[in-house]
Structures are given as C-alpha cells and as structure tokens.
Amino acid sequence: MRVSDRKEEHLDITATQDVRSAHTTGLERYQLLPCALPEMALSDVSLRARFLGHELGAPLLISAMTGGTPRAADLNRRLAQAAQTLGLAMGLGSQRVALDDPQQMASFQVRDVAPDVLLFANLGAVQLNYGLGVDDCQRAVEAVSADALVLHLNALQEMIQPGGNTDFSGLLAKIEALCRQAPYPVIVKEVGWGITGETARRLQEAGVAAVDVAGSGGTSWSRVEGHRLESERERQVAIAFDDWGLPTAKALMQARDACPDLPLIASGGIATGVDVAKCLALGANLVGMARPLLLAALVSEEALHQQLEVTQRQLSIALFCTGSRTVADLVPERIYVRSAADGS
Ligand SMILES: Cc1cc2nc3c(=O)[nH]c(=O)nc-3n(C[C@H](O)[C@H](O)[C@H](O)COP(=O)(O)O)c2cc1C
C-alpha cells in the first residue's frame, strides 16, 4: 500500500470510528483550586506564553497530524491559518512520504498562510534505523521553513501496523547525534502512549530541546491500526492494547519530576481549556490537541475556529477563577488531587 493511501485511511478512521483509548487521561483526578476572590478583572488575564523563544498568543499546540495527500494539504492549510490568527503553535504530520516523493512536500507547506507560527516539522524517529540521515532531517525542516523538528516515537504502532518498522535498537544514540549536528531544535514526542520520566531524562541528556509526553487517554493508535487490519489473528493481537499507555497526567508529572528545567508539551486526550489549565499547573509549558481539532477542521474553517476559541475562553476563565493573571501563575499549588471526601 502507498503511504499516501495509508494517510487517507488514517484520516477516515480517526474521523469516523471510535478510536479513543479504553482509559482516561487521569486529569479528571485533579481539580484546580477555585479562588473566590480573584481581585482582578477578566481583562487582566493574559494567555500569552513563550516556547523555545517564540511568543505565542496562548500556550496551545495543534499537534502533528497530516500531509501527503490533497485532502491533507487542505487540512494543513486550514489548521495553519487558524494557528496564525490565534498565535498558536502547529505541528505538521510525518514528512517521510515527501522525502520519498518530493512532489508531496507541497502538502506540508503552510508558511504562505502562517508566516509567524511556531511550526514543527515531523518525522518518525525509527526512520533513523531505515536510511533516514541528518541531511534528510535538514531537508524536511527547510522544505517547510519549520522552526524545529519533531521526531515521533511510535513503537506500538509500528508493531501493530502491517509491514511496520520493528527495529528500534540504537535510536537514542542516533537522536543524540542528530541533536549535536542539527542547527534547529529537536523535540521528541510519543503518539498517545506516553513518555515516562526515565525516558524523558535520557532524551534530555541526549540533547533534545523539548519533550511532548503525548500520553494515553485520547486517540489510541493501536485502535486506529486495528481498524486497518484484515487478518482476524492480527486484530486479536491489537485488541489487547486498547488500554495501553501511561495516562497523560501521569506522564506529564513523571517527566516534570525527572526533568525540572526541560520545556515540556502535554498532549493526549486534551478535550477542554480546563484540561489545558490543569496540564499547565502540573508543569507543562505548552499543551497539544490533535483529533478534536481534526474533527472540527473536517467540518469547516468556522468549526475549527469555534473549537479553538471555546478552548481559549475556557482557559481564560480557568485562569481568572484560580486567581491567575498569566499562564505562569498556574503553579502546582493551584491544583489538588480529588479524594472520596471531595464528592463525585
Ligand atoms: C489523523 C492523525 C494523524 C496523525 N499523524 C501523526 C504524525 O504523522 N506524526 C506524529 O507525530 N503524530 C501523529 N498523530 C498523533 C498526534 O499528534 C497525537 O500525538 C495523538 O493523536 C494524541 O493526541 P489526541 O488524543 O489529542 O488525538 C496523528 C494523529 C491523528 C489524529
């Protein structure tokens, strides 16, 4: 099967099937502490944030999703326009298809509609074991004028996907070598099963500029790939992984504990601006959403804008109602773990 056909199937399956993880993000276990006396006006609240030296209108990332087909090209432009209007960061989907077939690179190019957006190029880290070199990474970044390269780690997806790349040996050393040579920041993310504190620490030591924990509780790629399997035997294999992964809240806290100073992105199952606020209080610098934004973008430009504006308004209200003027004020003291005594 051609990679572009697989990309189309991923879009169709994520748009039409229930591909959510069998468990939650864990964020529901946390509650922001309400401040009944915020002592400010709503207009005093600022969502402005900085990430990797870039000013953002809000600490929100449109997570990596697509590219490599005409529909993907339209979606990338729609997502990029929204990111430009609202001052958000954006990740492109894996550009491997365009390294193999340069004509496909146009479907990832969004700079003409998003000149100021903090933009991330994207490749699978495992490709470093299958012929991808430092020059290819440079090409992927330059071809889309990205500000950084995101390498995704997707071990379980590669195991379940027919013909997946199953050799993950020696990857950390290759990531380290890339970080040493690359003139741009390298970020590493998961795709929805989470990065543990220990792995985040090893990645930081290897020189990555940031980690996106991409925990579980949102889109499950074993479920997405499960829908593509033709063999009943392989479907039986995949189904055992429906609840696989480290939930987003736990992954984020582990990574923050292990790497106190590392820029961290929280993502995986983020549904509302209140989730975003909880992640910021738990130590994230930026918070990403993928599938909810894809579903909105597939409806219309207006639906996407509405989804993002609702998220931002929820975040502003969460800041106001915790007495936080800025996102930096959302410190761990503003969140607590719910217990049975808190009601259900
Ligand atoms: C249709 C689709 C395609 C995706 N493709 C990529 C990709 O190419 N590269 C990548 O790093 N992550 C990819 N992801 C994973 C997302 O960036 C994100 O980590 C994951 O979906 C969990 O976030 P969510 O629960 O908000 O959907 C994709 C997600 C979706 C929904």
- Annotate 58-104 with DSSP letters as a single string: SSEEE-----SSHHHHHHHHHHHHHHHHHT-EEE----HHHHHSGGG
- Calculate what percentage of the chain has a pLDDT beyond 90: 95
- How far is the centre of ligand 1, averaged over its atoms, from the C-alpha of 164 (Å)? 17
Does residue 51 surpass a pLDDT of 70? yes
- How far is the centre of ligand 1, averaged over its atoms, from the C-alpha of 44 (Å)? 34
Does residue 97 surpass a pLDDT of 70? yes
Confidence of residue 185 (pLDDT cuts 50, 70, 90): very high
The CATH H-level (homologous superfamily) assignment of domain 3-336 is: Aldolase class I (3.20.20.70)
Note the Cα 294 to chain centre separation in Å: 12
Alpha helices in the chain (DSSP H): 3-16, 70-86, 96-100, 134-143, 155-160, 171-181, 197-206, 221-228, 232-239, 248-258, 273-281, 291-299, 301-321
DSSP one-letter code for 259: -
Best residue among 9, 21, 219, 272 to mutate for probing ligand 1's pocket (most ligand atoms within 8 Å of CB) is 219
Confidence of residue 343 (pLDDT cuts 50, 70, 90): low
Best residue among 265, 291, 294, 308 to mutate for probing ligand 1's pocket (most ligand atoms within 8 Å of CB) is 291
Q: What average pLDDT does this structure show over 79-105?
A: 97
pLDDT tens profile 136-179: 999 999 999 999 999 999 999 999 999 999 999 999 999 999 99
Q: What confidence score (pLDDT) does residue 6 get? A: 87
Q: What confidence score (pLDDT) does residue 81 get? A: 98
Q: What confidence score (pLDDT) does residue 159 get? A: 96
Q: Is the CB of 269 under 6 A from ligand 1?
A: yes
Confidence of residue 344 (pLDDT cuts 50, 70, 90): low
Q: What confidence score (pLDDT) does residue 342 get? A: 72
- How far is the centre of ligand 1, averaged over its atoms, from the C-alpha of 322 (Å)? 31
Nearest CA to ligand 1 atom 12: 64
C-alpha dist (Å) from residue 110 to 92, 250, 287, 306, 336: 9, 34, 21, 21, 40
14: three-class secondary structure by DSSP: helix
Q: Is the CB of 97 under 6 A from ligand 1?
A: no
Nearest CA to ligand 1 atom 29: 65
- How far is the centre of ligand 1, averaged over its atoms, from the C-alpha of 259 (Å)? 24
Mutual orientation of helices 232-239 and 221-228 as an angle, nearest 10°?
Answer: 170
Confidence of residue 283 (pLDDT cuts 50, 70, 90): very high
pTM of the model: 0.97
Best residue among 63, 213, 220, 276 to mutate for probing ligand 1's pocket (most ligand atoms within 8 Å of CB) is 63
Domain boundaries, the chain: 3-336
Does residue 211 surpass a pLDDT of 90? yes
Q: What is the Cα–Cα distance from 331 to 333, expressed in whole angstroms? A: 5
What contacts 252, CB < 8 A, 6 or more positions away?
213, 215, 264, 266, 279, 282, 283, 284
343, amino acid identity: G
33, amino acid identity: L
Does residue 92 surpass a pLDDT of 90? yes
- How far is the centre of ligand 1, averaged over its atoms, from the C-alpha of 206 (Å)? 24
Q: What average pLDDT does this structure show over 191-196?
A: 98
Mean pLDDT value across the chain: 96
Does residue 113 surpass a pLDDT of 90? yes
Does residue 121 surpass a pLDDT of 80? yes
Q: What are phi and psi of 149, to 5 degrees?
A: -110, 130
